Amino acid sequence: MRRPLCSRMLAALALVVPAVLVGAPAAQADPISQTSGFYVNPYSSPASWAAANPADGRASTIRAAIAQKPMASWFGNWSGDISRAVGNYVGAADTVDKLPLLVAYNIPGRDACGGHSGGGAGSVAAYDQWITSFAATIGSRPAVVVLEPDALGDFSCMSQSQINERLGMLSRAIGQFRSKAPNTWTYLDAGNPGWVDATTMAQRLNSAGVSGARGFALNVSNYFPTGENVTFGNRLGNELRRYGYTKPFVVDTSRNGNGANGQWCNPAGRRIGTPTQMGGGAEMLLWLKTPGESDGNCGVGGGSSAGQFLPEVAYKMVYGY
């Protein structure tokens, strides 16, 4: 996923699917001020691997440099009962007064262009039900949610009817979080600086109802340097002004320490980036993709499946080789 391709939608798209919300609604409650820091999941894939392999020479490095950092947990059709999965994760964070990071990744036709992470909910109705349960389960507990990586970048591999359906699902999803999760900041994925130009992506964000979200997310599962993302994010924010509002953004810095090399699927020589924090040129810099988890059967992850934890890849990513 997260291909650095250049694809452009016709300007007429904004007329085909208008934004559901006009202008910027009132902000939701601040989840940052309600917690004492970001949640570190003791059962993340690198943490679980290090715990299961204490004699491995790579374990202590992976534990200290990756597993003990706050990272997002991803939820999709592999999660089983979504209410239980989200409830357990958010509940664990709430118990220790920490802010959980979650990624919702279950849109029908997921990863349409890349294909390595294909799947998603079986229908529009199934997705609507799934994301409603996701939001309702978080409820009043504080959280940060990134919605549907790839969803607005994949249009070149979709029909117009599929695009229209997707925009509707994303808009409804944003509405569910606003109504059912009042202490959650939701960010809609907006690709990366090498995928879709800012004018086109702003049009897609608006059509997907980003006016009702906290903001948008950049670089999810990709490698572009933070500075490039900040420049692109500011440009996107300015482009949104033509629709009567602007939005803050977050950047995935989990694997961008050495920048990008033109490849998106398990490229060699990448490095972990700035750990999760507030600020840094964006509203937040977040580890959204888990370092060491494969992008698919490609690159240095040949023979693996998307999401599979690869300890050697994780270890080399700590040092950038």
The span from the CA of 215 to the CA of 135, in Å, is: 17
- How do 249-252 and 277-278 pair as beta strands? unpaired
The CB-based long-range contact list for 298-307 (8 Å cut-off, 24+ gap) reads 298/116, 298/265, 298/266, 299/263, 299/265, 299/266, 299/267, 299/268, 300/266, 300/267, 300/268, 301/265, 301/266, 302/266, 304/266, 306/1, 306/116, 306/117, 307/74, 307/78, 307/117
Q: Which of 273, 253, 265 is nearest to 306 (CA)?
A: 265
CA atoms 276, 278, 282, 284: torsion sign? positive
The span from the CA of 275 to the CA of 207, in Å, is: 32
In this structure, the chain runs to a length of 321
Residue found by looking up tokens 């990513």 in the block: 317
- Which residues does the annotation mark as catalytic? 150
How buried is 138 (Cβ within 10 angstroms: 0-12 exposed, 13-18 middle, 19+ buried)? buried
